[in-house]
Amino acid sequence: MATYYHRAVQDLRDNGFLSSVTIITIALSVLIVSAFALFFTNANDLMNYWEKGIKIMAYLKPGTSQKNLHDIKRNIQEIYGVQDVTFISKEEAFKKLEQQMKRQSSILMNLNENPLPDALEIRMTTSSQRSEKVEEIATKIESMPSIEDIEYGQQWLRRFTNIFDLFRLAGYTMGGIFFIAAVFIMSNTIRLATYMRREEIEIMRLVGASEKFIKGPFYIESIIQGTLGGMGGIAALFITFRLISSTVENSFKYELFDIKFLSPEFYCGIILCSIFAGWSGCYISLKQFLRT
Amino acid sequence: MIDAKDNGSIIQLFHVHKYYGSKKALVDISLNVSKNEFIFISGPSGAGKSTLLRLLYLGEPVSEGQILVDGMNLSRISRKKIHLLRRKFGIVFQDYKLISTKTVFDNVALVLEASGKKRKFIEKKVRSVLRTVGIEQKINALPPGLSGGEQQRAAVARAVVGIPKIILADEPTGSLDSDSADIILNLLKNFHAHGGTVIVATHDKELIRKAGGRILHLKQGHLYFPG
Ligand SMILES: Nc1ncnc2c1ncn2[C@@H]1O[C@H](COP(=O)(O)OP(=O)(O)O)[C@@H](O)[C@H]1O
Ligand SMILES: [Mg+2]
């Protein structure tokens, strides 16, 4: 094993140009895939963050009695996924509105009657803070008697989530394609290396080297290249991330959300994939080439 | 079927033919080589000497016939086991077949590395063999920087370093002056004296005369046994 490693490093050094080209190409594939992954995990977190803010406002029909109100509150409370229900009287709502409008509040002064309805504010449990779940709960509430109208903020989220899912699918596909590309690149490099060294390989066979002895270093080389390429790609992404994240972060300053780099599990996974790509590329090309 | 277990043979050929297209390089060759024999295969250029040696280490398959080497039936050796056959041989190729990108040391060491020997042992052994063939000072040189004679001596060093059972030498003194040729011949004789089997293909009558041993003649693919 030690001698295989020794020979592999020797070969990498002897074929410096080819090895660096391979490592760089793999690094680029990894960079593209992981950049996508970085974008998606952050977009995903952002979506979750937005969804957390979702609440349902249910407006009551005018003249709903105190008893009815109590029943409705209880009924809503019983829906699966509802965290709590708060009553907001039209007076409270009016005060809030006054506060929000500040300077223009004089407009409200001219009203001789409070036009706002009584309302219920419904918050969802954490597990139900997803657009489709919210929509389901909202429909249930809407069908209740005494409910005049219903409103839940960020209805656009639903549509956005669908588009996002599509993007995610595209992301997975891209990841797959780049993985295959990396395997392909690797198998061609090894093929080229074995072709350039076919005389050497033939001589090794003639003096009694086993197939294992001949192939071992190629495997180690491709694993080294996969590792270096993977780490290089992640490192390049990290540097880019640090450079641009401060700028992007500024635009989110007022939200309690920060952009994160890929989790260690995730980028270690990517590096493992890149190592695996190296190994597979080697396997494929040796299987084809070293037959003769 | 063929049985080689009971006698002292190490190599047996049974009605071996080799064709290249319609060209008959070897015709109906049957031969027994006993353990610890020293054999010369003589004959003019193009007689089929190199071809005969190639068949022994499965450099090429036979067209017809059977070959046994040290209990192995060559027609039954799988790709994965072929190195076990090759390790029985130390081969001096007519065109040397040194790896041009590796130093003389690495070329010779390769044989020992391939059979899993320890680094320290390899270091010592390779140096001593290179000293014996007289190219110790070229240990770190690349083969293209060597003269024909030096390359040939490196090739001989590689053939003997692994202490094989059989040495096949194809024109091993072809590029050497007579003093250097003597060194190589003595090396082969020494190997033989320690129980090894040697087969030398050569058209060098002088070498055969000096060495003695069993002599076979190849002519246009036919093998003749003198006497
Ligand atoms: N690979 C080959 N393809 C076609 N003909 C070959 C090949 N190898 C050898 N020959 C022919 O077989 C004959 C024997 O060649 P060879 O064994 O090299 O002779 P020697 O070593 O005695 O000089 C020659 O006529 C040669 O041209
Ligand atoms: Mg010849």
Lowest-confidence pick of A23-27, A224-228, A237-241, A249-253: A249-253
How large is the average pLDDT for residues B110-129? Answer: 93
- pLDDT over 90 at A175, yes or no: no
**Cβ A209–B57 below 8 Å, yes or no?**
no
Residue of B nearest to A198 (CA): B99
The answer to whether position B17 is within a domain reads no
How large is the average pLDDT for residues B207-221? Answer: 89
Q: Calculate what percentage of chain A has a pLDDT beyond 70.
A: 87
Average pLDDT, chain A: 81
Question: Which candidate in B110, B121, B158 is best for mutational testing of the A interface (most A CBs within 10 A)?
Answer: B110
Q: Ligand 2 centre and the CA of A211: distance in Å?
A: 28
How large is the average pLDDT for residues A25-42? Answer: 85
pLDDT of residue B1: 42
Chain B contact set for A204 (CB, 8 A) = 99, 110, 114
Residues of B with CB under 8 A from a CB of A: 57, 59, 79-80, 82-83, 86-87, 89, 91, 93, 97-102, 110-111, 113-115, 119, 158, 162
- pLDDT over 80 at A270, yes or no: yes
In this structure, the residues whose C-beta lies within 6 A of any atom of ligand 1 are: B 20, 23, 25, 43, 45-51
How large is the average pLDDT for residues A242-270? Answer: 75
- pLDDT over 60 at A68, yes or no: yes
Residue of B nearest to A215 (CA): B114
CB B200 within 8 A of CB B26: no
**Cβ A209–B158 below 8 Å, yes or no?**
no
| Facing B114 at nearest CB: one of A14, A199, A207 | A207
- pLDDT over 80 at A119, yes or no: yes
A199 touches chain B (CB under 8 A): yes
pLDDT bracket for residue A135 (50, 70, 90): confident
A55-151 is classed in which CATH architecture? 2-Layer Sandwich (3.30)
Structure confidence by residue, pLDDT tens digits, B73-108: 999 999 889 999 999 999 999 999 999 989 999 999
CA distance A233 to chain B (A): 32
Structural domain including B171 reads 37-47+82-224
Radius of gyration of chain A (CA): 31
Between B1 and A128, name the one with better pLDDT.
A128
Chain A contact set for B79 (CB, 8 A) = 211
Number of domains in chain B: 1
A205 touches chain B (CB under 8 A): yes
How large is the average pLDDT for residues B15-25? Answer: 95
The sign of the CA dihedral A47, A48, A51, A53 is negative
How large is the average pLDDT for residues A203-230? Answer: 91
- pLDDT over 60 at B207, yes or no: yes
Amino acid at A151: E
The answer to whether position B24 is within a domain reads no
pLDDT of residue A277: 85
Q: What is the 3-state secondary structure (H, E, C) of chain B?
A: CCCCCCCCEEEEEEEEEEEECCEEEEEEEEEEEECCCEEEEECCCCCCHHHHHHHHCCCCCCCEEEEEECCEEHHHCCHHHHHHHHCCEEEECCCCCCCCCCCHHHHHHHHHHHCCCCHHHHHHHHHHHHHHHCCHHHCCCCHHHCCHHHHHHHHHHHHHHCCCCEEEEECCCCCCCHHHHHHHHHHHHHHHHCCCEEEEEECCHHHHHHHCCEEEEEECCEEECCC
**Cβ A209–B114 below 8 Å, yes or no?**
yes
pLDDT of residue B129: 94
pLDDT bracket for residue B2 (50, 70, 90): very low
**Cβ A200–B79 below 8 Å, yes or no?**
no
How large is the average pLDDT for residues A24-34? Answer: 87
CA distance A182 to chain B (A): 29
The answer to whether position B152 is within a domain reads yes
Q: Whose CA is nearest to atom 18 of ligand 1?
A: B50
**Cβ A204–B114 below 8 Å, yes or no?**
yes
How large is the average pLDDT for residues B132-149? Answer: 93
| Residue limits of CATH 3.30.70.3040 in chain A | 55-151
A208 touches chain B (CB under 8 A): yes
Whole-structure pTM value: 0.72
The answer to whether position B155 is within a domain reads yes
CATH number at residue B149: 3.40.50.300
How large is the average pLDDT for residues A59-80? Answer: 83
